[in-house]
Structures are given as C-alpha cells and as structure tokens.
Amino acid sequence: MTLSPIPTDTSSHANQPLRIAVLVSGSGSNLQVLIDAMQAGVLPIEIVGVISNREDAYATTRAKDAGIPVAVLSHAASGKRMGIKTFETHASAQLATWQPDLVVLAGFMRVLSGTFIDNAPAPMINLHPSLLPAYKGLDTHQRAIQSGERHHGCSIHVVTAELDAGAVLTQALTEIKPHEMADSLQARVQKLEHQLLPWTILLLAKGALSMNSVQASQQENKFLPLLPLKLHIRD
C-alpha cells in the first residue's frame, strides 16, 4: 500500500494545520481530547469532519457542540442498518468532500475493507487498547489480565486490510496492578490513550514520525529511536 506523506513543516503546507477526519462509534472521549487540544491551539490540526457508524454515539454530540461537520452513516434510507459496503461508499464520498490529510479511527468499531483503506484520500491511523502485536481484536484488557501480563497499554498503528496489524507508530504502557480488574485497567489505559493520541498526531504533523512504514522511518531517521516510540506513563 502506498501512503501519501503527511505534510511537514518544510512542505508547502508549512504553518497550515493538519486536516483530520475522525471515525467514531462511541463516547468520543478521544475525539474530545483532540477537540480541546485544537481549540486550545496546542495541536496544529483542523478537525474537518467526524463520521459515526452509530446514530447514538455521544461522539457526534461532542463534534456538533464544537461546530464540526458530522456524518452519521448508520442506516440506509429504507431504515435498514447499513452494511459495511454501503457504509464505505458513503464514507468515501464524505472523505472526498472533506479532503483530510489524515484519517483517525478513534474508537471506531467496524472492520474496514482493504479496498476502502487503499482508496482513502489520506493515510489512516487507529488507536488500539493493547500493546500490539499482542491482543488484537476485542476484550483486550480482560485477556491481558487472564494471561498474567505484567504490562498493558495502547498502540497507534497504521491501518491496513489486516485487523490491528499495520506498522505500530507509538505505544503507551503501564503496569498491571496485582488483582486488578478489567474495568479498572480499561480506565487507566484510556487515560493513556488521551495522551498518546494527541502526542502521536503532533509528531506526525511535525514530520517527526513517518507514516510510510516502520522500516522506512528507520532508514530516513538514523538518529531517531526505533519505532514504535514507547511512552511509559506512571500513575
């Protein structure tokens, strides 16, 4: 897959905010962090639109309150729930209108096809609640505890056709506490997500992280640390 480069400070987009489209399905606490950082002027982004596959996602309220265009793509005109192909057709058209530089999946709970990903107008990143490549898919917190892991966390990776398998750009990790329950761990990991997402987008916007691949980034940036960059945040 060829990914278009993210504009950097040295490109013709210098001083232009990174245009971001966000795909959501739920509460949108990560979207809120991006909205707050954008409004505070600490992140050089413009959220050009939010797509939700659920009508009842609170994320849509957060976006509307911030004056961000929202597209809810949940049901077809007939009232039937949209199949993934119909969703992708509408989402592609919407993204083409917004022309983002980057598409961010933040709590987006549908699996996208390779065709959609390859034809998207911008590279895509996903926020996943585990230290990939461990615990792809769902119920990551419970599975990490049950396996007796000492560490857990979240990852931001490039979206590819294979679920949760694209190059990992950044991770934030924490220790699992003795006898910790999944809901406590989930809450702590979500706090990490709220730091990792804006931090990663800042690195991408500034050109300090390459979207092309982990390997390419190593060759281009011999003096920078190996990817994924790991943030160890203590409680």
Question: In whole angstroms, how far apart are CA 90 and each of 14, 54, 73, 94, 120?
Answer: 31, 14, 7, 6, 12
Stretch 178-197 residues interacting with ligand GRF (CB under 6 A): 190, 193
CB-nearer residue toward ligand GRF: 106 or 173: 106
Of 20-28, 48-56, 115-123, 208-216: span binding ligand GRF (CB under 6 A):
20-28
Question: In whole angstroms, how far apart are CA 2 and each of 43, 57, 143, 197, 206?
Answer: 26, 32, 33, 23, 20
Report the distance separating Cα 107 and Cα 92, nearest Å: 19
Of 8-16, 22-30, 46-54, 96-104: span binding ligand GRF (CB under 6 A):
22-30
Please identify every residue annotated as catalytic.
Answer: 128
Site string for ligand GRF, 128-167 (x = CB under 6 A): -x------------------------x-------------
Report the distance separating Cα 228 and Cα 86, nearest Å: 34
CB-nearer residue toward ligand GRF: 7 or 62: 62
CB-nearer residue toward ligand GRF: 29 or 218: 29
26 binds ligand GRF (CB under 6 A): yes
Could you tell me if 213 and 167 are in contact, meaning their C-beta atoms sit under 8 angstroms apart? yes
Which tokens go with 116?
A: 């959609």
107 binds ligand GRF (CB under 6 A): yes
Of 25-33, 65-73, 110-118, 172-180: span binding ligand GRF (CB under 6 A):
25-33
Which listed residue (127, 204, 211, 227) binds ligand GRF by CB under 6 A?
127
Q: What b-and-e string marks burial along 192-204, b requiring 16 or more CB atoms within 10 Å of the CB?
A: bbbebbbbbbbbb
172: left (phi over 0), alpha (psi -120 to 50) or beta: beta
Segment (H or E) for 20: strand 18-24
- Interacting residues with ligand GRF (CB under 6 A): 24, 26-30, 59, 106-107, 127, 129, 154, 190, 193
